[in-house]
Amino acid sequence: MDQTNILVLGNNLISNLLRRILIKNKIDHLNFAYPVQETERRFFAIKPTFLKWYSECFNEDLHNHYAIKHIQIFVDNEELNLKDSVTKPFPLFNIMSSDYLFESFSRDLDDIHKVFKEDEDLEFVFDNDEVILKNYQIPSKLIINTDFRFNKFLNKKPEREEKKKYDEFAVTAIFKTDDNLENRAVQYFRESKILAILPFSDHEFSIVLSGLKKGDEKLFDDSGEQLINFIKEQTTLASVELLSKISHFPLTLYKIKHDPKLRSLFIGDAGHKVHPLAGQGLNLGLGDIQMLENLISDKRIIDFGQENNIKKYVISRSVDESLVMNLTDCLDETLVNKSDVFSNLFKYPIKLIENSELLKKAIVRKMI
């Protein structure tokens, strides 16, 4: 293979959307990846601003989404209710399935150029003017990595600017109910656990339950009975039926420290990982793509891997990354790990927001 302008690593939502951007702008690139891992169908809360950007970027609309027009937040028995008058005329966010997003982002893409074996050792070497995949002697001007599994092969491994391994894990699953969910998402901060109810139709919803620790494994037994009982105890739902396998995963937080001299960018899960309580993990990755599109579509740029271009991207994304990481970590520390001490203190800002239409509107504007 000959030299390429950009080498994209990964085969996932973020890498495929990036490839569509590169094709649209006629940027020469190659895509290398590991085999796709079988995963359970998941649902994501997507910002309306992304749907608008996608429509304008590709001249096509994303469909198959369920609009969340109301949101309720409970801290113990204290409720913050973002009333209809605050959110109209726009939804707060849209619930979309992973399989539909993958299909949409992959539209008209060619096959992956090279699929590596899981145990294949790779070597990426950084030179002043290029990055070389030494195993195959493929030089490129810039590597954009979307899969954290590739990070270990870089001969100058990226540092993690912020790193934390939570002593907790989360579960996700899909359910149905006879109750009408009425375009309403609900989040419960109770008993040192965080439960998010995310409807994707009037009678179906997904959950993310985090704050689970050793001893909580019973909540994801195969029958789902324990988890169903927990959901009924926490919510007002009269009927709950499990529709999927219950998936569980450990929680980590990290952010890659980019070195502008190394001709590499780390985006999506390769660049950052956050607590799932705010549903912002994928949205951060989509934000990475939107910022990259600004860079890639600049016709004045010939070498995307130059130091000033890397710096420009990193600076533009740093505020959003830090805000989401610090907010989710702070909430976890306050309401999960130190709930007995801080939960009462946390109720005061809840009450303040509840009584301020201005603060509510500010929250909504940030979300969308």
> What residues are paired with 254 via a beta bridge?
163, 273
Instruction: Give the total number of structural domains in the chain.
Output: 1
Closest of 53, 85, 95 to residue 364, by C-alpha: 85
Residue 23, domain member (yes or no): yes
Residue 339, domain member (yes or no): no
Residue 208, domain member (yes or no): no
CB 155 within 8 A of CB 127: no
Closest of 217, 225, 245, 210 to residue 42, by C-alpha: 245
What pLDDT was estimated at residue 33? 94
What pLDDT was estimated at residue 163? 74
Taking residue 24's Cβ as centre, other Cβ atoms within 10 Å add up to 14
Q: In whole angstroms, what is the distance from residue 133 CA to residue 114 CA?
A: 12
Residue 72, domain member (yes or no): no
Phi, psi of 185 (to 5 degrees): -100, 145
Q: In whole angstroms, what is the distance from residue 224 CA to residue 231 CA?
A: 11
Q: In whole angstroms, what is the distance from residue 45 CA to residue 117 CA?
A: 33
Residue 314, domain member (yes or no): yes
CB 205 within 8 A of CB 182: no
CATH of the domain at 9: 3.50.50.60
Q: Which residue's entry shows tokens 């997904």?
A: 206
List the pLDDT tens digit at each of the 368 positions of the chain. 456 899 999 999 999 999 999 999 999 999 999 988 777 789 999 999 999 999 999 999 999 999 998 888 888 877 775 555 554 556 789 999 999 999 999 998 998 999 998 878 888 888 878 988 888 889 999 999 999 888 877 655 566 666 777 788 999 999 999 999 999 999 998 888 899 999 999 999 999 999 888 888 888 887 899 999 999 999 999 999 999 999 988 888 888 888 888 899 999 999 998 888 767 889 999 999 999 999 999 989 889 999 999 999 999 999 888 888 887 877 777 767 654 544 555 555 555 555 555 555 555 444 44
Q: Are strands 204-212 and 159-176 parallel, antiparallel or unpaired?
A: antiparallel
What pLDDT was estimated at residue 270? 92
Residue 294, domain member (yes or no): yes
What pLDDT was estimated at residue 219? 83
* Sign, Cα dihedral of 82, 86, 89, 91: negative
What pLDDT was estimated at residue 79? 78
What is the domain range of residue 24? 4-42+98-164+254-330
Q: 350 Cβ partners below 8 Å, 6+ apart?
A: 73, 75, 78, 80
What pLDDT was estimated at residue 324? 86
